Amino acid sequence: MTAPIDLSLLPRSARVDAAGRLSIAGVDLAGLADLYGTPLYVYDEDELRARCRVYQNNFPGGVAYASKAFLCIAMAKLIAEEGLSLDVATGGELHVALSAGFPAERIEMHGNNKSEDELRYAIDAGVARIVVDSFDELDRLERIADHDGSVVAVHVRVTPGVSADTHEHIDTGAEDSKFGFNLASGDALAAARRAAESDALHLTGLHCHIGSQVSRLDGFERALHKMAVLVREFEDATGATIEECNVGGGLGVRYTSNDDPPPIEQYAAALHDAFAKALIDVDAKSKPRLMVEPGRSIAAPAGVTLYRVGTIKHVPGIRTYVAVDGGMSDNLRPVAYGAAYEAFVPTRATADRPLVATVAGKHCEQGDLLVRDATLPADIAVGDVLATPCTGAYGASMASNYNKVTRPAIVFVHDGESRIVVRRETYDDLIRLDATS
């Protein structure tokens, strides 16, 4: 006897019918697997939109969706329709956004090592701002602006020296970062001054990002305090004020029943409170807007991946392996970060789950395991569909063709209907870049 599946790991439209079949947005999950094949990424469009709206309502200073979490043309369009801004971190992400018709004036260009080509692409497209990450990039931007006669709007990315999910006295490690300008060394202030004083640049704000899948709020609060101190130092040094502080993304999600991140509303209230207090503490003149850049907490809970079981092996006295038709090529997170997931059989969602088994992928690596110690129905069999909830972020976006496996299709579901937003790769796609002679 084991606990039934935890529906709260799925989009809020998840329902189990009298026959024990699981649906999302009124669409039967196993039916989707039959229709489109597996593996399949399925997104509940209303769940994506609902999460965007909670962010929009709770951060009047602005929300930029971090496209690295999950991006395709349909997603960029959805984000545009919901009125959010978009964080892109490479020329490639920028290209997808622009191809979707995403308004350039709502795009922020990130990246710790942007090439001159990427910077030119972003500036020519008319992005809202470039988030500057290094002195070399400041040089590069000034060269481009001098050449084109343009003035480039920039945020300065700061490394606040705060690590996520840890306590203050052990937070110094976060200064060892390839991102941004170090705060403690004075580089952050120097970069902000330089941007403010340059004829080629217009300093529009400061930025920081402390980490990802963060469930404790104190790290964000400490980062905001450090940002407020920098705002005051900048005011003292230049006499100017700061219009905006962007505290990045990072709010965690519930991958399994053991995860307990705060809701977006609580996170928003804590951040606004901490920032307002910090600005009073330092007696700042500036009244910066507080902006955030969530990726995972918008995309992850809206996504489910569907697989089909291909073989089951009982290794006596050791474990049972349930192998599916995907793996580390469609979800790298278990291998890369030891990330934990759960697995459900969507045709038997109310069944007891007494079998403890390891869900393995199909790649040629022993480490290609998707879910360790999944609890599954005792009668799980070859041919069953298996679903892993909360796989909407950093799954498709980090997918690969390892072992020349074709990448899955992506389907959006809404109001009882499904539609392909990214088609499944074919074997021919695998050789489309090869020189054949």
Where in 341-370 is the site for ligand LLP (CB under 6 A)?
none
57 to 96, contacts with ligand LLP by CB under 6 A?
66, 68-69, 87
Catalytic, out of 52, 245, 364, 390: 364
Nearer to ligand LLP, 154 or 322 (CB): 154
Of 31-39, 244-252, 278-286, 429-437, the segment contacting ligand LLP by CB under 6 A is 244-252
Distance CA 191, CA 197 (A): 10
Side by side, which strands form the sheet with 27-28? 15-16, 22-24, 27-28
Closest approach of ligand LLP to the CB of residue 252, in Å: 8
Question: Smallest gap, in angstroms, from Cβ of residue 171 to ligand LLP?
Answer: 18
CB neighbour list of residue 416: distance below 8 Å, 6 or more residues apart:
25, 26, 27
Total residues contacting ligand LLP by CB under 6 A comes to 20
Query: Measuring CA to CA, how many Å separate 223 from each of 181, 210, 239, 375?
Result: 14, 7, 23, 39
Amino acid at 199: D
- The residue with tokens 């006897």 is 1
Q: Which of 1, 55, 36 is nearest to 268 (CA)?
A: 55
**Beta carbon nearer to ligand LLP, 39 or 250:** 250
DSSP-assigned states of every residue in 314-373: EETTTEEEEEES--TTT--HHHHH------B-TTSTTS---EEEEEE-SSS-TT-EEEEE
Q: Which two tokens stand for residue 190?
A: 């120097």
Q: Closest approach of Cβ 65 to ligand LLP, in Å?
A: 9
Element (H, E) at 201: strand 201-207
Closer residue to ligand LLP in complex, CB, 331/418: 331
Do residues 135 and 155 touch, judged by C-beta distance below 8 A?
no
Report in angstroms how near the CB of residue 270 gets to ligand LLP at its nearest.
16
Shortest-Cβ-distance residue relative to ligand LLP:
249
- By the rule CB under 6 A, 213 interacts with ligand LLP: yes
Tell me the closest approach of the beta carbon of residue 221 to ligand LLP, in angstroms. 17
Active site residue 364: yes
For ligand LLP, which is the closer residue by CB, 135 or 337?
337
List 322's β-bridge partners, or say none: 312, 359
54 contact partners, CB below 8 Å, separation of at least 6: 264, 265
CB nearer to ligand LLP: give 249 or 326.
249
User: Could you tell me the smallest distance in angstroms from the CB atom of residue 299 to ligand LLP?
Assistant: 8
Q: How far apart are CA 288 and CA 233, in angstroms?
A: 14
The nearer residue to ligand LLP, 240 or 269, going by C-beta atoms, is: 269
Q: How far is the CB of 27 from ligand LLP (least distance, A)?
A: 26
Binding residue for ligand LLP (CB under 6 A) from 58, 85, 90, 212?
212
Interatomic CA distance for residues 391 and 396, integer angstroms: 9
Show contacts with ligand LLP in window 326-345 (CB under 6 A): 333, 337
Binding mask 279-318 toward ligand LLP (x if CB under 6 A, else -) reads --------------xxxxx---------------------
With CB under 6 A as the contact rule, the residue among 111, 161, 249, 288 that binds ligand LLP is 249
- Residue 110, interface with ligand LLP (CB under 6 A)? yes
Helix axes 116-125, 91-99, angle to 10 degrees: 30
**Residue 16 Cβ vs ligand LLP, minimum distance, rounded to whole Å:** 29
Using omega within 30 degrees of 0 as the cis cutoff, is the peptide bond preceding 39 cis? yes
User: Of 326, 409, 398, 400, which Cα lies nearest the Cα of 368?
Assistant: 326
Of 219 and 249, the one with the shorter C-beta distance to ligand LLP is 249
Nearer to ligand LLP, 321 or 402 (CB): 402
The contact set with ligand LLP (CB under 6 A) reads: 66, 68-69, 87, 110, 209, 212-213, 248-251, 293-297, 333, 337, 394
Catalytic residues: 364
